[in-house]
Chains A and B, each alone.
Chain A
Amino acid sequence: MKTGTLKQILLITDGCSNQGESPIAMAALAREYGITVNVIGVVKHDTIDEKGLEEIEGIANAGGGISQVVYAADLSRTVQMVTRKAMTQTLQGVVNKELRQILGDMKTIEDIPPEKRGEIMEVVDELGETAALEVLILVDTSASMKHKLPTVKEALLDLSLSLSARTGKNRFSLFVFPGKKKDVEKLLDWSPKLEALTSIFPKLVIGGITPTGPAIREATAYFKNTPILRGNLSDDDEQYFEDTV
């Protein structure tokens, strides 16, 4: 049985890339592979420069995703909200495409009277609850992110908790950039939960450069090259249920 899987890259960063390809172009490339790129900009106070903000919005726009700039303290709430909103947005896009084919001249959900939108939303909500989701988390570990990493860890564990309440299956993977030797380094392979993070995060080496573009490119490639192991996934079902009830 084949069902659609929602694929997302979640980029957590605090500013501008300074090495390699344009991250906006790489986000646009990811989108071509059916991957949505969401960006969360973590700021300390009110301080984020115009250029950093532009890049954050640009990446999300090109990647068909959502961007949000927050203080570290708001991160948990934001991470889960952005992920969910992006799912809804993607699903709505799929449903809109379908509607266009059925309704012809009526283009999107906005062209349908508000009273009728409820039923469509029901379907979108239902799909959001049950669809399989793959999130590749891409964390900026350049020097300025150092003191924010404990908060990032908390937020990601919280995201795992939120998503595991869904009926649909989840898979997470975690990459950091810059890596020890390469632009980007894999910390966690596809796994249904993010708990393994607790032991990985303290070991992070903080680097100086910010190769955001190459990181997105690598992440995209990782989605492509990983065969989706549906057989294995369904085995996790029982365990999931026990864990979450």
Chain B
Amino acid sequence: MMMNSTLKTLSKPRPGTVITGKWHKNSYRVLRELGSGANGIVYLAQAGGAKVALKISGGTSVASEVNVLKSFAKVRGSISGPSLIDVDDWVRPEGATPFYVMEYIEGPNLLDFIRKNGRAWAEVLILQLLKDLHVLHEHGWVFGDLKPENLIVTGSPPRIRCIDVGGTTVKGRAIKEFTQSYDRGYWELGTRRAEPSYDLFSAAMIMIHIHYGKALVKKEGGIKQLKEIMKEKPELVKFSPVLLKALQGWYHSAEEMRLDMLKTINGMAGITAKPAVHPGNAPMSRREYRKKKRKFEWLETILIVKIVSMIYILYLFGQ
């Protein structure tokens, strides 16, 4: 019964409605609703002969999400999010509603796929996910709202894809959108600051969800309840060293977690149960050096933006 203050005043498009953009004049025929979230509603729509996904939002989230999708496009092929097709305004007598159009990723969500095709897929798909997350993190983003509903398995061979970038946040900022069961803040196991370990916590919770059979509800905060649950299923016992590290934020990168998972599947020993040495104390590897450098470039950009906005605020208050 949640109502968006801006969306609720505008009527929803019915199936068959043709949405024509104000700026680019492209038309989309709405087929059905695919899903709705806190920031808007996603529709399946038809443009020419092709099916597309169209997201309508009453707020300012369209511009933010378009920014994310645009920067994903720059590293195409490696990030599994949908590609951006169009951004426009839908003008009705009640007012203009911003919307964007993206690639329609067709397929069941992660849980439905595994229910149908067997749990053997769980490891494969999580490994794929970790690989994608690593690329995403390397490019300065954290996915944020990682949950089974936002993961679609598509194509042949099956490939995991992330939809809904509403929670995707620049590293170092506060996570924009999250879902309790997969949020380390809710479990009292960390902050809501966007860092790779935030996504890895969610990935571990997804893994637990798959094998446990349902989303978990917190009884008490902390790791204890999660540890107990992991003892109940043999698949979780097997992966518990990896999952425990992820849940406690001990992995610095998705790649580390992925390699540990590969080791576990192969029955190899040697997963250290301790947090990894912080990169700051260890000699820097080439990759870390590059990461640092990139981070510096980021800081530079942020600093410039900060200075500009500060001057601007000073100016505002000066009036």
Contact = CB atoms under 8 A, between A and B. Distances in A.
A235 interface: no
A123 B307 CA distance: 11
A77 B38 contact: yes
Interface in A60-115: 60, 66-71, 74, 76-78, 81, 84-85, 88-89, 92, 94, 98, 109-110, 113-115
Contacts of A3: 310, 313-314
Contacts of A165: 173-175, 185, 191-194
B239 interface: no
Given A4-B313, A126-B309, 15 more contacts: A68-B3, A68-B5, A74-B2, A89-B59, A98-B312, A109-B60, A114-B89, A114-B98, A114-B100, A121-B63, A158-B186, A161-B192, A166-B173, A167-B173, A244-B193
Contacts of B170: 125
Contacts of B100: 114
A46 interface: yes
Interface stretch (B10-18, B64-72, B112-120, B286-294): B64-72
Contacts of A4: 313, 316-317
A35 to B, nearest CB: 17
Given A114-B98, A244-B193, A121 B64 contact: yes
Contact of A245 (B23, B60, B191): B191
B317 A2 contact: yes
B63 A162 contact: no
Contacts of A117: 63, 66
Contacts of A77: 38, 180
Contacts of A2: 314, 317
A126 B186 CA distance: 25
B269 interface: no
Contact of A113 (B23, B310, B317): B23
A164 interface: yes
| Majority SS at the chain A contact face | helix
A98 B316 contact: yes
A120 B313 contact: no
Interface of B: 1-5, 23, 38, 59-60, 62-64, 66-67, 70, 87-89, 96, 98, 100, 170, 172-177, 180, 185-186, 191-194, 302, 305-306, 308-310, 312-314, 316-317
Chain A interface size range: 35 or more
A122 B60 contact: no
A191 to B, nearest CB: 19
A89 B193 contact: no
A76 B23 CA distance: 38
Interface string A33-69: 0000000000100100000000001001000001111
24 contacts: A2-B314, A3-B314, A67-B5, A68-B2, A68-B3, A69-B1, A70-B2, A77-B38, A78-B2, A98-B316, A115-B87, A117-B63, A123-B305, A123-B309, A126-B306, A127-B309, A130-B309, A161-B191, A161-B192, A162-B192, A163-B174, A167-B174, A245-B191, A245-B193
A118 interface: yes
A129 interface: yes
Nearest to A76: B180
A60 B5 contact: yes
Contacts of A85: 59
Nearest to B185: A161
Contacts of B314: 2-3
Contacts of B3: 68-69
A89 B308 CA distance: 20
Closest 6 pairs between A and B when the two form their complex, measured CB to CB:
A121-B63, A165-B174, A165-B192, A114-B87, A117-B63, A165-B193
Nearest to A2: B317
Contacts of B63: 109, 114, 117-118, 120-121
Contacts of B316: 4, 94, 98
Interface in A178-195: none
A43 B3 CA distance: 13
Contacts of A124: 60
B70 A118 contact: yes
Contact of B60 (A92, A94, A127): A92
